Structure 1
Amino acid sequence: MLSRVVSILRAFDRGSEELTATEVSRRTGLPASSCHRIMRSLAEEGVLEVGEDHRYHVGLWLWEVAAHAPRSGGVQQAALPFMQDLMDITGHPVHLAVREGLQAVFIERMSHWRARNARPYVGSHYPLHLTSVGLMLLAHAPLEVQEEYLSGELERRTPLTVTSPHELRRRLASIRSRGFAVCDRQVVMDAISVAAPIRDGRGEVIAAVSVNTPLGSLKEQTMAHAVQTTGLAITRSMALNGQTKR
């Protein structure tokens, strides 16, 4: 039953925020009768909500529970004012991400309404080697995680995407040395991003913050300094508020 519930909830992704039970059945491969029954139960508990048109969407209760996740909610709350400052200073979108297994999960995003590129969305999952936040998180992941990741198939999104394990190992070492990560047209050909780490009280990297710039707008050292300052400010804020422990 639990696996069916999880499968149903995963059907509600970006672009599919509202679904009928029949649509969920098609997406999950579960029998329509089972989807109807389970989704009615989830709606009764507030996990899902259903409108007069019989279309379901994720309920506020589920968002409230997710906000208490220690690796996302605490970091997110501490990061928001500093992300706002970084966006105001640079004029570009700012993102916050954590590592979940072998992927970077984007848990917050800020941008001006004029921003032409809405990616990545909050909740988006990206392979670690494709984004600057992912590279930062991979560079500071346990060695066994790095080896598992680099031994697998590395997705290519653009002609510039680095898929060589040897080259990625070199880049990860450089990231640890420099203290920031750069993603140069690895996902799309018109954007570059720079990321810095956010650490807990033991000095371990628990999240990463980045600023995304259109192609031709990046001043690497300036952006690196700005995003590193932001990462350090978030780290210190969490420590002062007792959100990380030594």
Structure 2
Amino acid sequence: MARPMLDTIGPKHVAIIMDGNGRWATMRGRPRLFGHHAGARRVREVVEACPDFGVKYLTIFAFSTENWKRTQVEVAGLMSLFRRYIMKEMQAFVKDNVRVRFIGDRVRLDAKLRGLMDEAEDFTKHCTGVNLTIALNYGGRDEVARAAQRLAFDVKEGKLDPAEIDLETLPRYLDTHVLPDPDLVIRTSGEARISNFLLWQSAYAEYEFLDTLWPDFGAEELGRLCAKFGERDRRFGAVKA
């Protein structure tokens, strides 16, 4: 059955903290990785729904810099899932005209995964539909620190005048420098915190915190939130005359 099109002005860039996979699995008496696999399958539905609601950019939080603290078994399982997901979905991304990018620090990731990430980005670079950005080994503070390091290096090399650094300068050094800032940030699973996600970029984003666990989140709920976004009066600090 066709999904209804959004008839209000919705967000162009939606960012999602996909939380609740482990709890979803535990509630069903299954291991946490079972929930992560279910969550990965849910991504396809959400990506496919984006054009219906006018969403041009979708950024998803897949693995944070803090997630390395989880058990070795879970981390290894997640890395295996990421490799398989990229290999399995690459053709589908092209078929659906989805351009894929990755943000985060790739240094700690294994060589095979890094190679697949590079391949997916190159394989889909001609796609002009939804821009899917996957945050992998990503942390907002880590991103800003790495950006500051690159900026400082350019100052040292004489490529950048410290006196000319302003609010427009740092974003050019962020992982997301080719992306617009998110309009709407969604977090599933009932937690009401941003967990180090897109700290600089989401300064003026609208937030939605849902009780829904990520494997239960779908196109219908995305559409509802996009419609709700369209009803908001976004003034960015100004007031109407």
- The question of a shared fold, defined as TM-score above 0.5 by the shorter chain, is answered with no
Structure showing greater relative contact order (alpha-carbon pairs closer than 8 Å, 6 or more residues apart): 2
User: Which TM class, normalised by the smaller chain length?
Assistant: under 0.3
TM-score of the aligned structures, taking structure 1 as reference length: 0.24
Identify the structure with the greater strand proportion: 1
Choose 1 or 2 for highest CA Rg: 1
